[in-house]
Amino acid sequence: MKKNKLFFVSALSISLLGAVAIPSAIFASSDVNDSANASTTVTQDASTTTTGDHVVTPQKIGNTFGSRVQGGATVQSAFEVPKGYGHVKLTLKNNSSYPVRVSVTHNDSGKEYISGTRISPGSSITWRSTDEGYTDGLRSGSYTLQFRGGDYNVDAEFNGIAGSQPADIR
């Protein structure tokens, strides 16, 4: 009986050792650094590509937004600038037969980035934050875009994009 017990304990020990050793050997990682397969994503700039690296490098271009606004003599719309995407380009178009004035205000701070800029009838303007001296970008958050037609109803539209780099809005 003692021999059977000893045999059973030995067999159990070997089984447990194998259950630990075999998966460890299978899933062991190599300490060898294979520089041909090393990823450059940590140090690579988002706008730079490396031929043959087979790494998808995401560009930090935030949201695109836009809307058609029409109705009364003053109409508003809103857009959002995500955190880290402060470089903004807006294309503002006046579809009406009368001039309109446009303003853009950051809702939380009340800072006005565009203040009563006139757009002629049937014309459009492109506004870039970098061209207006905001080289570090705009504040993140919600913005209100307001079109004013004076005594006339507004018929306008806007499109925009927010990016993390000035080159994203060119």
DSSP, residue by residue, 63-129: EEEEEEEESSSEEEEEEEE-TT--EEEEEEEE-SSS-EEEEEEETTT--EEEEEEEE-TT-EEEEET
In a domain, 39, yes or no: no
In a domain, 170, yes or no: no
In a domain, 89, yes or no: yes
Residue 58 near residue 46, CB atoms below 8 Å: yes
pTM for the full model?
0.64
In a domain, 134, yes or no: yes
In a domain, 44, yes or no: no
Q: Per residue in 132-148, pLDDT tens?
A: 999 999 999 999 999 99
The Cα-based distances of 127 to 8, 10, 29, 110 in angstroms read 82, 80, 53, 19
Q: Strand 87-94 relative to strand 155-163: parallel, antiparallel, unpaired?
A: antiparallel
In a domain, 147, yes or no: yes
**What pLDDT is recorded for position 130?**
95
In a domain, 18, yes or no: no
Q: What is the CATH number of the domain that holds 153?
A: 2.60.120.680
In a domain, 109, yes or no: yes
List of the chain residues with pLDDT < 70: 1-62
Domain that holds residue 91: 65-163
**What pLDDT is recorded for position 63?**
81
Place of tokens 């029409």: 70
| Number of domains present in the structure of the chain | 1
